[in-house]
A and B are shown apart, each in its own frame.
Chain A
Amino acid sequence: MDGEKKTYGGCEGPDAVYVKLILSDGHEFIVKKERALTSGTIKAMLSGPGQFAEKEADEVHFREIPSHVLSKVYALCMYFMYKVCYTNSSTEIPEFPVAPEIALELLMAANFLDC
């Protein structure tokens, strides 16, 4: 992360451009912070009054979410991009398809993340 701080920013500090999402089995996702803040829960975890230990480094640990939910986390990140891209934009909002096989678990994740 350090070598490329100039161009890409890092995951540490209050003005970090990226944030790391860590799943229960160690998988890590690095997502642009602006997009991850779409989730009310992640936003609260990153800025709340010390209740979550995530404030030091911009990492969020999801201790309950195992790796078989990977595809849903990917869908979540895609949704974050979709939301940021089309909110307050005058262009046509395209459809965001959700495959029925993952819809129920994705709903639970989206409910948890308030997005």
Chain B
Amino acid sequence: MASFPPRVNEKEIVRSRTIGELLAPAAPFDKKCGRENWTVAFAPDGSYFAWSQGHRTVKLVPWSQCLQNFLLHGTKNVTNSSSLRLQRQNSDGGQKNKPREHIIDCGDIVWSLAFGSSVPEKQSRCVNIEWHRFRFGQDQLLLATGLNNGRIKIWDVYTGKLLLNLVDHTEVVRDLTFAPDGSLILVSASRDKTLRVWDLKDDGNMMKVLRGHQNWVYSCAFSPDSSMLCSVGASKAVFLWNMDKYTMIRKLEGHHHDVVACDFSPDGALLATASYDTRVYIWDPHNGDILMEFGHLFPPPTPIFAGGANDRWVRSVSFSHDGLHVASLADDKMVRFWRIDEDYPVQVAPLSNGLCCAFSTDGSVLAAGTHDGSVYFWATPRQVPSLQHLCRMSIRRVMPTQEVQALPIPSKLLEFLSYRV
């Protein structure tokens, strides 16, 4: 079974340049489970990288220092054992000039991570959740961690302190995402078949439960304008939700197996989903059409084979910030970089036991987490985008497909604007 379309010569595909790696420290005890790095995340301002090292530990790594280390010391960067320990009583987290490293013991296996930035208005009392005395300051950065027992812990990134403990899910919290508009609305996706919407500015009050999944929810993602949420899960589920009214907009049908990852393009005009059926689909979220299919197994598997243990599960997908590239991670030990207008990868990188991937905030680096808790980093394919694409993104950020179709422009440009070429 081939990994690329028959007309593509695998040897001619460019290999991505490695930037560095963070190797998980050896655990002193039973290594059989709990080591996995299920999610990688970068802070929205690029200041930190959250490294879920396995065994309930998350390390907050100051990103620019980490990059510098990679450049200075070559590609290997083993963690040093004398790193800063979390200081719970230290509340002067005002050291924005030099971000400090923090190691957080989350108390349970960490399945999901998400950064959110805040513009807080007042000191608040937490209701229905564990009480913690805390002070909001300007420019606060939060890290949400979703745990094995269904709890969600919210941490202050600058000080490493625990701020909130959200209790409601009854099963693993498999994914977390903050609304990108700075409102500190957090959405959690759980194996208990629900998604929950939390308002962290209102003491972590749970505002809504989104029901509709018949099985595990694997992942969720906000559209860049925060108006839509995509949730994906077991039994081929892909749902789009209206986040003003919390109603379901539509189901997207097409996958043949569990759908495990989703991501919107930076202009919100495209939605990428990854599935165990060996495929990544690029959808138009405004009308549910499938625009592109990125295959990882050739010839493409029949629906029965795609719906089973086909050894080629796609685990993760991420959209680049230039809106032109997508990265996918599959069980055939490869990371693939795609252009949205080609159906074969433009670059690949070898990776065993990869579980998750994410682009850095400026889009120049891709991070991938693995089964043993390590993280690997590559330089992403970069090129100067065409002016037409830059205009397209500017227009699509504010215009859904239906409005685009009504524009008085030549049909070729309509197709281009609808991402149909």
Q: Which B residues are CB-close (under 8 A) to A103?
A: 391, 394-395
- CB neighbours of A96 from chain B (8 A): 385, 390
Are B417 and A107 neighbours in the complex by a CB distance under 8 Å? yes
CA distance A97 to B362 in the complex (A): 14
Contact of B362 among A87, A92, A106 (CB under 8 A): A92
* Given A100-B397, A107-B413, A108-B413: A115 touches B391 (CB 8 Å cut-off): no
Task: Decide: A93 and B384 in contact? CB cutoff 8 A.
Answer: yes
- Does A31 have its Cβ within 8 Å of any Cβ on chain B? no
CA distance A87 to B395 in the complex (A): 24
Query: A93-B382, A100-B397 known; A107 and B364 CB under 8 Å?
Result: no
8 Å CB contact of A115 from B362, B382, B387, B394: B387
- CB-contact partner of B391 in A86, A87, A106, under 8 A: A106
Tell me whether B388 and A111 are in contact (CB under 8 A): yes
- A110 vs B397: C-alpha distance in the bound complex, in angstroms? 19
In the complex the two chains form, what is the Cα distance from A79 to B393 in whole Å? 15
A107 to B390, CA, bound (A): 8
Among candidates B382, B385, B388, B397, residue contacting A107 with C-beta atoms closer than 8 Å: B388
Does chain A have a CB within 8 A of B56? no
Q: Give A92 to B409 CA distance when docked, in angstroms.
A: 34
Contact B413 A79 (CB under 8 A): no
Judge whether B395 and A115 touch: CB under 8 Å: no
| CB pair A100 B409 closer than 8 Å | no
When chains A and B are docked, how far (Å) is the Cα of A97 from the Cα of B397? 12
Interface residue tally of chain B, by bracket?
20 to 34
**Closest B-chain residue to A78, C-beta based?**
B387
CB atoms of A104 and B391 under 8 A apart? yes
Interface positions, chain B 381-406, Cβ under 8 Å from A, are 382-388, 390-395, 397-398
Partner of B409, one of A86, A93, A104: A104
Q: A87-B384, A93-B382, A100-B398 in contact; A108/B409 too (CB < 8 A)?
A: yes
B397 touches A76 (CB 8 A): no
Q: Known A93-B382, A111-B413; judge A104-B395 contact (CB<8 A).
A: yes
Residue of B nearest to A75 (CB): B387
Chain B residues closer than 8 Å to A106, beta-carbon distance:
387, 391
A99's nearest neighbour on chain B, judged by CB, is B394
Choose among A92, A96, A100, A107 the residue with the greatest number of B CB atoms under 10 Å from its CB.
A107
Question: A98 contacts B388, CB within 8 Å?
Answer: no
- Interface positions of A from 60 to 115, Cβ below 8 Å from B: 76, 79, 82-83, 86-87, 92-93, 96-100, 103-104, 106-108, 110-111, 115
- Which chain A residues have a beta carbon within 8 Å of chain B's beta carbons? 76, 79, 82-83, 86-87, 92-93, 96-100, 103-104, 106-108, 110-111, 115
In order of increasing CB-CB distance, the 3 nearest A-B pairs are A107-B391, A110-B387, A103-B394
- Would you mind naming 16 contact pairs between A and B with Cβ atoms under 8 Å apart? A83-B384, A87-B384, A92-B364, A96-B385, A98-B387, A98-B390, A100-B394, A104-B407, A106-B391, A107-B392, A107-B413, A107-B417, A108-B409, A110-B386, A111-B412, A111-B416
